[in-house]
Structure 1
Amino acid sequence: MKHSHNFMATASTLAIISLVGSVAYAAPEAGSVIGNQAVATYTNSAGDTITVTSNKVETIVQQVAGVTLTSDNTEEIAPGGKAFLPHIITNDGNGPDSFSLTAVEGAGDFDFASVTFYPDADMNGVADSATPITVTPTLAPGEQFGIVIDATAPSTAVAGDIETLAITTTSTLDGTISSDNLDTLTVANGAIMELVKSMVVDKSAGDPNIVDQGDTVEITLTYSNTGLAPSVDYSVEDVLDLRLPYTVASAQWSDRVVAGGLDETNGTGIDATNGSGETIAYQYNSANNTIDFAVSNVASGRTGSVTFEVTIGALAEAGLIENIATQSDNTGVYPPSNTASVYVDEQFAHVIDDTFTQTDTTVVRSLTDDGAAGDDVVTESSDVSQGGVIAFEFVIGNDSNQTDSYALDVVNGDFPTGTTFRFVGSDGVTPIVGSVGPLAAGDATKVTLLATLPTDATPTAAGATNYTASVSATSDQGGAVNTSAAEFDGAVLAAAVDLVNVNTGNEGTGAEPYSDGVAAPWVTELTDPGQAVTFPMSITNQGPTSDSYNLSLATPLPTGWTYEFQLADGTVVTNTGTIRAGDTADFFVVVTPAADAPPLTELVEIALVSPVSEQGDTIVNAVTVNEIVDVSIVASQTVQAAPGGVVDILHTVTNNGNINITEGAILQTGLTEFSGTIYWDQNGDGVLDSSDPVVDNFDDIGGLAAGDTATLIYRVQVASTPGMSEIGTLALGDSLNGATKSDADTANNAVADQIVIVSGDVTLVKTQAIDPACNGNPGTFTKERQDVEPNQCIRYRVVASNSGTSPVDSVEIKDLIPTYTALETACGAACDPTVAPVAGSAVNAATPGSISSTHGTVDPGSFAQLEFTVRVDN
C-alpha cells in the first residue's frame, strides 16, 4: 500500500495520524500483520510547516486453536441395537488444524458393546465409508466436518435403561482446546386403594417338575380400602401378557360366588351383588387379552378379591412373565398393583440353516442360497473378483421356549489361504460384535458371513471352484452347538484399479508408482511457500464389480504442509464413493506447502485402496517449492532535529524469502551537510547502546534467517543552520550471499528519511504492549514487532515530545484503529483511552475506526500522550 503525506497548513497545530488501519471486518488468520505508523504536522514559532512520521509498529497474529462440536443427541435404542449419532465439527481457530475424537461412557445402566467414529464429510448424517476414524482431516479455518458415531447397546439392556456418551473433539495443534457434547440413549420397549396381585401356577397339566406351556395360572386381585372414606365406582384393569391367554368362565368374586363364573360377555352389566348391596361388573376383552371389573362401592376398611385363570400359552418363552394391574375410582388414579410374575422354565434348541419355519408359520429363507432349500448348506454360485467379498446369508432359528443369543464361529475348509471371514447382521452391513440376538423363542433372524478373498487369489473358471467353510452357532444360554456350511462354486475373476494423472497425458497408467520405475515422480508442480498446487487425478475401476476406494497419502508431508482430496465442486472427501465396474471417477489432490517452507522438492505419494476388495494403486508426484529471495526495509520517515543535534531513526529489515541471507550491502547515501551512521540494535530495545555495532552488510548482523527481522538505528547528526533539511537514503543491496543470489523484489529495498533542522523540535514515538487477558495489565511497551493471538489486546502509546526551544500550540493527536482490530470497550476503565497531561487534554472516540486527543500547548521539554487499547478480532 502506498500513502501520500498531506501537509496541514493550520497554524500552531500538531496532528498525528495513523496511516495504516481500517474498521475490522474479519478475524485475522495466523500470520496476519497488524501495523501502524503515525504522522505529525505542526507549525513552529518561526512559521515553518514541519512534518514528522513515527516509527512503524507491527504485531503478528499467532495461530490459535478453536473448535465447536454440535450437537447433543437424545435418542432411544433397542437392546442389542444401534444408534447412529451425527455431529459436526467446526474449526473455530485461525489456521489449519485437525481434531482427535474420543467417547467416554457415563456411569449409566449399561455398557455399550461398541462405539465407533465414521467420517461424514458431506454432513448428511450418513457415514461416507466403513473405515473408522479417530481424527479428522486437516480443516481450514471455519471449515466443518461431519462424523457419525455408531453406538451399539448390549443385548442385555432392558427397557428404561439410560446411558450417556461424553463426546470430545480436541485440537491436535493445541491439546488443551476441545469441545464436548453429551449423547443420552434410553433403552425402550413400551407400562387410598391398595391392590395386590398374585399368580399361582398349577403344574398338573404337564411335567410336574417344571413350569411350561399348558400349565394353569390362577390370578387373584385383592383390593383393600385403607382410607377413611369409601371408594365409589372403584375399577381395576389387568392387561394380561399375550403369552397368558385367559380361561373363559373362570372368574369369581369373593363377595358372591356365581355358578359358572362371572359373566365376562355382558359388557358393563352387573354380574353379582353382595349382602351390602354393592355390585360388580366384570368383562373380558379378547382382542387385547384384558380383564376389567368395577365395584360400585368399597367401604373404608373393606377388602375383597377377584380370581380368574389363565394358561401358559404356546408363545411363552422361558423366563419371567410379569404383570401389574391398574386401579382408579371417581376421584382419580391410584398407584398400580405390585408386579406379579410367573417363571417359565428353560428349554433349549436352535438351528443355523438355509431355512427356518417360525412359530407364526412364516418361513424365513436365505436370499443368497443358490442351492437346494433345507439342505443345511448355503451355496453361492455368482462370480467374484480377486480380493472380492462373497456373501453367505444364513438363517438362525430359535427352537427353544426362551429368548436366546448365539455366538458365531467359522472354520475355513478350503478357501484360499489369506481369506478373511467376518459376520454382519441381517442388514448385510453392520458388523456383529459379540453374540447374535436376543432372539425370541420361535423366531428367526439372518446373519451374513462375508468371505474376503486375498487379492492374489488364483483366478478360476466357473464350475471349477469348490470352496467350503463350516459355520456354527452356539447357544449362550444352553451351550448347544448347531452347524451349517458355506460353499462357493462360482468363478474367481481378476480385479484391478488404475490411478492416473489427468490433463497431462494420463501419466501413471498401470501399477507403476514412479515414472522411471525407481524414484522419479510422474508430475512435478512448482509453487511458492504457502501457495496450494492441484493435481487432477482419475480413478478407473478395472474390476468386474462396483467398488469404492479410500484416499490417502502413503507418506507424511513435512510439518506445516496440508493436503485435501476434493471433488470437482470443492467438496472434501476421504473416499471416492461407489464406482461401477469399468467406470471412471475424477478428483483433485490439493497440496499446500507451509508458509515458511524452504526451497525443496517434496514427493507426494497418492494412494487409494478399496476397504472391500483391498485393491489399490499409488502414484508419486512432486511439489517443488520455489526459492524466494526477498529482503525489505521499512519505513520512510520525516524527523526533525535541533541545530547541531542528532536524531535516531528506527527501521526494520525483514527477510521475506525462504532462504537465509548471509551477505549483502546495507548502505546509506544522500547526506552532504549532515552525517549519518547505521547501527544494529542488537537487543531490540529501540535505543542506541554503546555495544550496538556499525553495519554496512548483512554479515555484520550475523546474517538474517528466512522470516526473521532485524532493527537498524540510523543516527544522523545535523548542521547548525535552522530550516536546513536533507534526505538520507538507506538501501539494501540486490546482490546477496556473495553475488550468488539476486533479490526478486527490489521495490521495497530502500527508504528515504527527511531530516529537518528546526528551532521547535517535536519527536513522535509510537510503542505497543500486549495485554493477553484484556484486563488492563499490558506488558512492556516497545517499538519492536510483537506476537498476539486472536481475542487478545494491544495497548498503543503515542508520545509527541517537544525537545525544541519554543512551545507548540493546539496539539492534536490522531490515530486510526488498525485492520483486524476494534477499539476495546468491554474491559472497563482499565482499558479506556488515557491522555497526558490530564489537565487540558481530552479524548474523542466518537468517529468509528479512529481516535484522537487534544492537548493545547506543549512547552519545550514537555510532551503530549495518547494511550488506547484495541482487541484483535476473534
Structure 2
Amino acid sequence: MKIVQKALLLILALAAGLALAAGTPAGTAITNQASASYIDSAGQPRTTQSNLVTTIVQQVYSFTIKPDGTESAPGQIRNALPGGQVLFNYVVTNTGNGTDTIALTTVQGTMDNFDLGNIRIYLDQNCNGNVDAGEPQVNSVTLAADQSACVIVAATIPAGAQSGQYGNLNLVGTSVGNSNVTDNDNWARAVASTAAALTAFKAASPSGTVQPGGTITYTISGSNTGGSPAHGFPVTVDSQSRTGILIEDTIPSGLVVRSMPTGSAGAGTVRLIYDDGTGWKTLVPGVLPLTGNGTIKIGMLIEGTGAFFPQGAGYTFSFQAEVPDSVPAGTSYPNTAVVRFDANGDGDADDPGETVSTNTTTNTVGAAYQPVVGYPGMVTLGNEVQTINTAYAGQTVSFTNVVRNDGNAPDSFNLSLQNSTFPPGTVCAIYASDGTTPLSGPVGPLAPGATQNVVVKCQLPASYFESPADGNTTTYQVVLWATSVNDPSKSDLTTNQVVDILPGYAVDLAARGFAGDNDPNNDNPPMQTANPGQTVYFPLEVYNAGQNPDVYNLTATLPMGWSVVFYPDADCDGTPDGAPITNTNLLNPGQKQCFVAAVSVPAGAAPGANPVAFRATSTTLPTVYDEVTSQVMVNTVAQVLLDPDRSGTVTSPGTITYTHTLINNSNAQATCSITATGGAYGWTYQYSWDGNTWYSLSDLPSQTLAPNGATRTLYVRVIVPAGEPVGRTDVNTVTANCVVNGVPATDTATETTTIVGGELRLEKSVDKSTAYPGETLTYTITAENIGTANLTKVIVSDPIPAYTTFVSVSVTISGFPAGATVLYSTNGTTWSPTAPSSVPTGGVVYVAVDTNGDNTITHADVMPPAAKITITLRVQVQ
C-alpha cells in the first residue's frame, strides 16, 4: 500500500511493529472475564466472577498492486510493432483483515510520445501472464483478507508510431470499502519497434496455493511477435561458446527439481542447461536433484546462427519443483524467468528490449490446519482415553488435557464437550490450565507445534453411585473435541472417563466416644433421669464416614410436648459450649464433631420411661442419615423454665429476632414478668408475646400461665445501628420472674449477638466495544470489599483473551494498611512486586496485596472493609 490517508491505519502501521496484512479477522468477538478468590470473615473460601466484556474487531482496508513503477522509471517495459498489442502483468493483494473490492482504472502518461489505445483489464485466472480464452474483462476485483488476484492490462500501440517511440500507462487501484485507500504508482511502458520482439509468459500449476510436499510445474512460453527474425547471442556452456536464445529461471529457494525439464522451439536446436554458480552446463539426469538456494538457475538454450528465429516462431520450457514437507504456511515462492536474445544482429543481448522478463508467479504454501488433543504424555491424532479409576458421588473430578497445533500455521481451536455418559445431573466444564479460570472463546492462537493445557472438570451428582462397583471402563465418559477455527473440518478428540463412581456420603451418629468405630452395638447413649420441666443432656458425636465434606442437620424424635436444643461440645466433655446449633460444622471425610442434645421435659410430663431418638442427616443428600435411640425417666417436680439460650450474628446496621419459651412446670398457676440486662452498646431491644405487638422492657405486660406445662413464647428483637465494628458482642440475659401461690420462681435465658460482615464485589469494563487489529484494549477490573469485615487472601485473576497480545498490567490500591504492596503472578503461586512484561495469549495474570510484608499471599494478608484494588490490563488486538 503506497497511499494510506486514513490516520488510524498510519497509527496501526507504527504500533508495535505489527504488519497490517490480515491480522485478526474483521467481526471477531474478543471476550474476557475476570475472577477472584478470597477467604471471608467466617473463614470460608469463596470465589466470584466479574461480568463478561466483549470487543468486536473492525475492518482495516489495505491492498497492494505490484510491480511498482513511476512514469520516468516504469516497472514494466514491453516492445511491439506499431499497431500491435502489449500485455502488462500485475498482482493485486488484499493486505487488510476483511473482504474488500478494489476498483481498477488506467491513466495515460504525460511524459511520453503517444497514448495507448483499446485498453482493457483482464482477470488472469491462471496467472500465466497471457490472456486466455474465456478470461473475463474486469474493472474491479473482490478479495478476501490476504487473497491475491492476477490481472492483465492489454493495450495497443498506435499504427502510426515510429520505431523507438513509447507510451506510458498507469494502473490505479481504489478500495471500495474506504476510498481514501489507493495504490497509484504502477506505471508501465510500451515501446514501438520493428525489430525482433520475443514475448515471455510464465505459468505455475497450481497457480496459487500449494500444499507442503506438493509439486509446482513452471512453464515459460512465448513467440517472436516483432517485425524481423531474432538472432542468437554468445552463451558459454560447458566452457564452450555457443550462439542462441537463452531462457533462464532461478529455482526458488527451498524448492527441489528432481526430474528433467522439457522444452521445444519453432526453430533452432534445444539444449537443457543449469548454472550452479560456476557457469552454464548441459543438464543431464545424473546432476539431479537441484535444490534452490537463490542462485542456482535452470534453463534452455535455443541454439542457432544468424537470424534463425523467424516471426511467429514460438518456444516453451517447463520444469517441476517440489515443495518441502515441513515448510510453514504462508511461505511464498515468487518466480520470474528471463529471456535473452539479439534483436538487431549486433552480436549481443544488451540493447533495450533484448532482455525480457516474464510475469511473476507467486505460489504460497497453504495452511494445513490440524488440532490434536490428548493428555500429558499422550497427545496423538486420534482418540486417547484418560482414565480415573475411582471417584465418589458429589466430588469434582478433574482431567488435564493438552491441546497442540499440528498444523503449519497459527490457529485457534474451539473446544467443546460432547457425548457425555456421566450420570444425569453431572456438570462438566472447561477451564484454563489453572483449573479455576473458565474458558470463554477459543484457545489460541497457537503457533505450529505449540501446546496449551486445559482442565475438564465434572461435578458428580451427590445422589448417584454404583453399589457395588462394576469395574466398567466405558460407562462414565465425556469427549473433549478441539476444532480448528480456520478450518472447521479439522478436529480431534480425547476421552476423559471414570471407571467407578462410589458412594460419596455416609454418616455415623453415636454416643460420645463411639462414632466411627464400625460397631453399631455401642451407638445408643444411656438413659437419662429428669424431673418435669428439667432439661437433660445427651452427649453425642457425628462422624463423616463418606468421601466428601458435608454438613449434617440435627433433629430429634421426642414425646408430644417435649423439645430439644442442640449445642456444640467443643472439648467433647459432654457439656454444651456456645450458642445453640441446628447443624454441624462442615466436616471433612474422617472428621468428628461432638455436640449435646438438650432435651426439655415438660412440667406436666407423667412419670416413667419416655423414648427419644436423635438423627444426623446429610444436607447434601437427605437420604443419607444415621439415628440413635435412648430414654428419659421422668419424675414430677414443679418449676418455671425460660428456654433456650440463643445466639446469632447480624450486620451493622441490621436486625435479629430471638424466641424463648416460658414454661410453667409447676402444679399451680404462675404469674410472670420479664427483666433483662441487654443494651450495653446502645442497641435497641424490643419484646413481644405474639411477635406482632412490640414493647419496651418496662412496658411489657406480665403473663399468667396454667400449670403443668403451659407455655408462652417470648420474642426479643435486637436492632443494631450502623457503624458497629465486626466482632462486637452483646449478651442480653432475659429473666422470667414468676410467682406460684406466693412462692417466687425464676429462670433465665441468654442472647449472644455478634456483628459480622464481609463481601467482595468484582466489576469489569473495557474501553472499546469495537477495535481494529493493532489497537490496544484497556480492561479495568475493580475488586472492592463492600462488607464490614476483613477478607483475607484476596487474589484477582484475569486471562489474556484469544486474538490479543499482552501489553501491560498495572494496579492501584486504596484502603489497605500502610506498607501494603501489590504483588503479581502468572501461575497463582509465585509472586513478585514487579508486573510481568509478557504473558502468553490464554495465560492468566494474578494480582493480590501483601499486607504483612512476607512477599507472598497467605491467609495473613487482609483486605479491610471499603478497601479497593483497581487493575488496568492492556492488550493489543492481533
Highest RCO, 1 vs 2 (Cα 8 Å, sep ≥ 6): 1
Provide the TM-score with structure 2 as the length reference. 0.28
